[in-house]
Amino acid sequence: MVKILLDPSMYHPHLSVAQECEKAADLGYGYIELSPRADFHEWHHYPKVDKAEIARVKKAMQTTGVKIETFNPVFNWSSPDEQERQAQVRNWRRLLEIAEELEVPLMATEFSGDPNQPLKSEHQFYRSIEELIPDFEKRGIECVVEAHPYDFVETNDRAVQVVRGVDKDWFNYQFCLPHLFHLSLGKSNPRELMEYAGERLRHVHVADVWNHLANVGNRYIINPPGVDARIHQHNEIGNGEVPWDEVFGYLREVEYDGRLSVCVFGWEEEADAIHVRMRERLEAEFSQRSDNN
């Protein structure tokens, strides 16, 4: 049974985590994927959560029936700088404590290294995961990781290979559809990419995106040419070029029973309407297999 999750990123500026549970319930969601926010787990920073906040979030989950199903932390655990890497491992350990307290079963994260030092970043990633294996296993928390634009792993197949190298049943791959054209180097082949991940595919981020490499790479003009940057969007389905019939057809064909996280960003003025339409679309695509209702 698929689970449809709301990433409440567009509500972070004006709602607390507890209020985001209420918002998710109002929008018809049963689950949240909690993305980074300054008062909880911020990008690369030590988590800023105390007992009082944990109690408020617990109460909100009980009251609304909405569960925080995943945390979506971004910690530089693959940093080539050893002191930084050690600090990020410490951040991970604290967030795992919080996840256990809130009964959050999954971490959905990134490799978070330096694309200009890929081999050293890979060495540091494996060092970090080796140190954290006892913490994940002690707390019974699973982890999925994605390739990300401007990371030391930016393509689908390489990311899957790095995940396989960890060789743990609880450590798997997250396929991010708004990164499709980075994952595939401009190809429109989600079926092929997901097939390569195989049984390691356990989590899917759902949003649309335009192909930044289309039109001989001239769709987006970046100055100066060749600047060290990456482009992508997290748009509503239909506002991009992801081949959704192929995506959903494949997931139904393999009887995918993982999580689908709605992660549309940058459209705060229409956030409620977008999230309702996204949920309804996913429920329609997986009408016989969603356990949100």
Residues 6+ apart with CB under 8 A from 79: 85, 88, 112, 113, 114, 121, 124
pLDDT, tens only, 129-185: 999 999 999 999 999 999 999 899 999 999 999 999 999 999 999 999 999 998 998
pLDDT, tens only, 67-77: 999 999 999 99
Domain harbouring 132, CATH code: 3.20.20.150
Q: Is the pLDDT of residue 289 over 60?
A: no
As a whole-number percent, the residues of the chain with pLDDT over 70 amount to 98
Query: Is 15 a domain residue?
Result: yes
* Total number of domains in the chain: 1
CB atoms within 10 A of CB 222: 12
Quickly state the pLDDT bin for 222 (edges 50, 70, 90): confident
CB atoms within 10 A of CB 117: 16
Residue entry with tokens 């979030």: 57
Query: Is 292 a domain residue?
Result: no
Question: How many Å apart are CA 93 and CA 73, to the nearest integer?
Answer: 12
Query: Is 204 a domain residue?
Result: yes
Containing domain of residue 193, as a range? 3-285
**How much is the pTM?**
0.93
Residue 213: predicted pLDDT: 75
pLDDT, tens only, 69-122: 999 999 999 999 999 999 999 999 999 999 999 999 999 999 999 999 999 999
| DSSP 8-state secondary structure symbol assigned to residue 208 | B
Query: Is 290 a domain residue?
Result: no
Query: Is 238 a domain residue?
Result: yes
Residue 66: predicted pLDDT: 98
Query: Is 26 a domain residue?
Result: yes
CB burial of 251-288 (b: ≥16 within 10 Å; e: otherwise) equals beeeebebbbbbbbeebeeebeebbebbbebbbebbee
Average pLDDT for residues 2-16, to the nearest whole number? 97
Query: Is 213 a domain residue?
Result: yes
Query: Is 196 a domain residue?
Result: yes
